[in-house]
Amino acid sequence: MSIVTTLSVLVQDKPGVLARIAGLFARRGFNIESLSVGPTEREDQSRITIVALTEDAQTTEQITKQLNKLVEVIKISELEKGKSVRRELILVKVKTDESNRRDVLAIVEMFRGKVVDVSADTLIIEVTGKYGKVHAFLDMIAPFGIKELVQSGSVALARGGSSITDRSRYDRTPKAKA
């Protein structure tokens, strides 16, 4: 059985960081289920959420250790289920017409989705939530006919007052002299 691990990786925002991380996963044969990257509260840092699939705990540990060796990686924290919130976002273009639009809208309502575009025979619906919710929604909407689907990777944060940067020893590390 695969182990699903969610890692939040704080990196320096420098060109090529994402290529380096993706390359590391490819080279060492680690499986990525999803990866999403974006800016953080600090201009010079980005945060990458990686959902990795491994066969054993040892591989999970290797992923973390190998990522930590990358010079641009500042901090990694594993986000455990229950102690973190995880969200993904989908945009889905569904076939609708006069006869079934109401039914579709009812489902959208139920999942607290949003209609973001309307045409004569389609709707684009936006839904966010954790994996289970998003996929339950897709199951419900599928019979109407999905014309197009796009899905983001997971983003996640640890619950509670602490932050990944608090736990980083970044600011306490004495600076080396050249």
Partner 1 sequence: MSSQVTGAQALVNALEALNVEVAFGIPGGAVLPLYDPLFDSSIRHILVRHEQGAAHAAEGYAMATGKVGVCIATSGPGATNLVTGIADAYMDSVPIVAITGQVGSKSIGTDAFQEADIRGISFPITKHNLLIRSADDIVRGIAEAFHIAATGRPGPVLVDITKDALNGLTDWAWPIEIELPGYKPTVTPHFRQVREAANMIAASRKPVLYVGGGLVKARAAEALAVVVDKAPIPVVTTLMARGVFPDSHPLNFGMPGMHGTVAAVGALQEADLLIAVGTRFDDRVTGALDSFAPHAQVIHCDIDPAEIGKNRTADLPIVGDCRLMLEELADRLDSVDLPDWSDWTRYLTNLQEKYPTWPGQAGDGMLSPQEVIRRIGAIAGPDAIYVTGVGQHQMWSAHFLPHEQPYSWLTSGGAGTMGYCVPAAMGAKVGRPDKVVWGIDGDGCFQMTNQEITTCTLNNIPIKIAIINNQVLGMVRQWQTLFYNQRYSNTELHTDLCPDFVKLAEAMGAVGLRATTEDEVDGVIARAMEINDRPVVVEFVVHKDEMVWPMVAAGTSNSDIKYARDMAPIWEEDEL
Nearer to partner 1, 2 or 68 (CB): 68
Nearer to partner 1, 77 or 96 (CB): 77
Considering only the stretches 14-22, 88-96, 106-114, 146-154, report the one whose residues sit in contact with partner 1 under the rule CB under 8 A. Answer: 14-22
Considering only the stretches 98-106, 120-128, 146-154, 167-175, report the one whose residues sit in contact with partner 1 under the rule CB under 8 A. Answer: 167-175
Instruction: Compute the Cα dihedral for 117, 122, 124, 125 and give only its sign.
Output: positive
State whether residue 62 is helix, strand or coil.
Answer: helix
State whether residue 109 is helix, strand or coil.
Answer: helix
Find the binding residues for partner 1 in span 39-98 (CB under 8 A).
Answer: 58, 61-62, 65-66, 68-75
What's the rounded Cα separation, in Å, for the pair 35 and 49?
Answer: 6
Binding test (CB under 8 A) with partner 1, winner from 23, 38, 39, 145:
23
The widest CA-to-CA distance across the chain, in whole angstroms, is 72
Verify binding: residue 11, partner 1, rule CB under 8 A: yes
Which residues in 14-164 belong to E strands, given as ranges? 31-39, 45-54, 73-79, 84-95, 114-118, 122-129, 146-151, 155-158
State the residues that interact with partner 1 by CB under 8 A. Answer: 11-12, 15-16, 19-20, 23-24, 27, 58, 61-62, 65-66, 68-75, 168-170, 173, 175-178
